[in-house]
Chain A
Amino acid sequence: MSTTIDHLEKAFSDAERKRRLYTALFLGATVFVMAGGFTIAEDMNSGGFIDGLSQFLDYPSDIVVESFEEGWTWWPMLLEFAPALIETINMAAVGTILGGVFALVLAFCSTRGLGVWPPLVPICRRMMDGARAFPELILALFLIFILGASPVPAIIAVAFHTAGALGKLFSEVNENIDRGPLEGLTATGATWFQRMRFGVLPQVLPNYTSYLLLRFEINIRASAILGFVGAGGIGAELRKAIGWSQGAETAALFMLLFAAIVAIDQASSYLRRRVTGDAAFQTA
């Protein structure tokens, strides 16, 4: 009897020791990577960390001071740059819509058991992986070279990346649906489109909408960044303002971008709660 307990105790303490060792190793590795990484980063950087820290607030305070010096004429700037912001939002919206359509097709093609030709499933999955791995920036730079500097390369780049990223999320939603309605519809002799329309779409649409809104928000940020490398919109204005050291304009653009991102963040999380909340109510 006592030998069993001894045995158990020994096994337990062994397991405990092993776990502690792993934890210690993990923590050690973390500390090592942090310390080593920061040393290397400090080496590679043109400015030092400690010096930089003291200058960190210089630039923000400079542009705030310049904005104050501008006085009342600062406010009309917000209005003046509004078209650029709208262009960026349009870029994101068109990119999200086009990417969403492709994502929808890819997601249905990459879900087993929806009556799609089976060999298509792995092909669509790899296509999504490829599209998702492509950073928007690379594709945008490429397209800017071919199509010239305009918002369209950014839209294509955003749509391409969105198709992969959303497609993966959509297909995960598809995997998790209840197959019951599909079987019921098959029993009534429904066509493929009818089965998708009445058996699948009502189940997945709330989650799709939620992911689409989230992606739209992400794409606004991406479009602003792509503007910075030549795709127009608020990013292009920002680049100009920073390049010419126009502090007041820079502050106005920062403000506008920040406000837009926060507003859309809030709006989309409100809408997402409503959409998925409704769905929960309906199924209950």
Chain B
Amino acid sequence: MTTTSSAAAQSAQAAQAARLSDSDIDARFADVMRASRRQRFWPIGLAIGTVLYLIYAWIAFDMTSLVQQSRMDRAAILALDSFAYKVHVTKDLRGDGAVSLSIEGARQGGFDEDPSWVQRRGDAVEVDLGDGYRVTLQDASLTLLAPGLEPIRARVGEDGAVSMTGPQPEWLKVNERRFEARPELFKRVRMTRTRIEVHRYFYGWENFWFDYSSPFYGMSLMQAWSYAGDAPQIEEGASNRALLLENIWRNQEWQHGEVFKALLETILMALLGTMVASLVGLPLAFAAASNFNRLTLVRIAIRRVFDFLRGIDNLIWSLIFIRAFGLGPLTGIMAIAFTDTGTLGKLYSEALENIDGRQVDGVKSTGASSLQRYRFGVIPQILPVFIAQSLYYLESNTRSATVIGALGAGGIGLKLVETLRTGQDWENTFYIILLTLAVVIAMDIFSGWLRRKLIKEG
């Protein structure tokens, strides 16, 4: 009786509510509306707060002046240099006026004979820059031929001033001290009172396989391989192909050998650091789990040790270990092992506290010894967690290992900092970055694969 009447009242109320205006709803459901409105406003408040914070940060970090100071030209050089190299044709105006060729200017050695795009005719040198651009160097003057333009002539006078005649397109900058033309990204001509330089850029990484000192210098890998097969023994006591591999490994410019040694160091740091951390963390985790250790004091002490190890960052640990162990992978291993013993120990102890007690009881009911209870009751339950977490950390530690390396522990991180610091061979930096990324991604894929495989089968 009462249910029907209340249902009827409700439906009548609902019908009435349908005709209610907004203000009526506000009045009747004041509590609900207020809560709803509060809920609607706090995201807006949060957004405003975030924007205000970002404005504060913009001012605190002095972004405005930073934007002005940024060196985008460096970015352009860096980008260009990472996939291209240039050959310098240099005429020294101070000395005997000889024209020399070299790769990337400052490098030792160069060309035994002129490439086809450089022609010497008497005392004039003609450089073909491609796409119809040609430069002729003679005495202290140059002639630049550009498609669709009158010849541009520039010379250094007796007084040392640079002067020019001819059209002046926008890619040409000239004043008394220098003549600078860059019609395209891959072509550049510059002249000062002391020298004329013509740069022609080529795609690729020069001398990637063989450096100047190698008998295979200038060959591509395939060429060198077949050459090594056919040619008589180049060096006493070593087969040509062994010599070839040796030459690649000892390439002075790209330092393949050293780079791979550094990569190995980084992988060692990550692998051994994670292994030590998980093997030390597991027994400690048993001692820190309330269902395995009844001694509260010991338990709390071990938990604090975990917090301490975890709280002191990789960075600080590695700085301490560098003092003790010196430069090298050992420092990185210990730094990673210390931090992650804390992290993994905490995770394992939480997993241990959450295991299902019935499985242990079941094993116990068959009359199993305590060792057997652990073996068949506990280990199967935490093994998936153990494997999954260790592998997750292996992957992230590969990244940490490059960072610790850069702080001084060695490995690929340090190599990267070194090449960056010289700021010369950007293609080397780029190469190292690519290798590092490849290792990190490979580690990611490998640990994911192993995790799926082990956990599915286990």
A residues apposed to B, CB below 8 Å: 30, 33-34, 37-38, 40-42, 44-49, 52-53, 55-56, 58-60, 87, 90, 93-94, 97, 129, 133-138, 141-142, 145-148, 150-152, 155, 221, 224-225, 228-229, 235, 238, 242, 254, 257-258, 261-262, 265
Contacts and interface: CB of A to CB of B under 8 A. Distances in A.
Interface in B308-352: 310-316, 319-321, 323-331, 333
A242 B326 CA distance: 15
Interface of B: 50, 53-54, 57, 60-63, 66, 69-72, 74-75, 78, 261, 264-265, 268-269, 271-272, 275-276, 307, 310-316, 319-321, 323-331, 333, 399, 402-403, 406-407, 410, 413, 416-417, 420, 423, 433, 436-437, 440-441, 444
A49 B264 CA distance: 19
Contact of A225 (B50, B63, B327, B407): B407
Main secondary structure of the interface of B (DSSP, over half): helix
Nearest to A262: B311
B61 A150 contact: yes
A235 B318 CA distance: 13
Contacts of B63: 152
Nearest to B454: A26
17 contacts: A34-B276, A37-B271, A37-B272, A38-B272, A40-B268, A41-B265, A47-B330, A56-B324, A59-B320, A90-B60, A94-B53, A141-B420, A146-B71, A155-B61, A258-B311, A258-B316, A262-B311
B333 A52 contact: no
Contact of A146 (B78, B313, B314, B402): B78
Given A41-B329, A225-B407, A135 B268 contact: no
A202 to B, nearest CB: 10
Contacts of A53: 324
A145 B324 contact: no
Given A45-B331, A262-B311, A94 B57 contact: yes
A173 B95 CA distance: 71
B327 A135 contact: no
Across chains A and B, which 8 residue pairs bring their CB atoms closest together, nearest first?
A: A45-B328, A47-B326, A46-B326, A52-B325, A59-B323, A45-B330, A52-B324, A41-B329
Contacts of B333: 38, 41
Contacts of B50: 97
Contacts of B75: 146
A74 B261 CA distance: 43
B359 to A, nearest CB: 18
Contacts of A261: 311, 313
Given A41-B329, A137-B406, A262-B307, A60 B320 contact: yes
Contacts of A58: 323-324
Contacts of B61: 90, 94, 150-152, 155
Nearest to A53: B324
A135 B434 CA distance: 11
B265 A135 contact: no
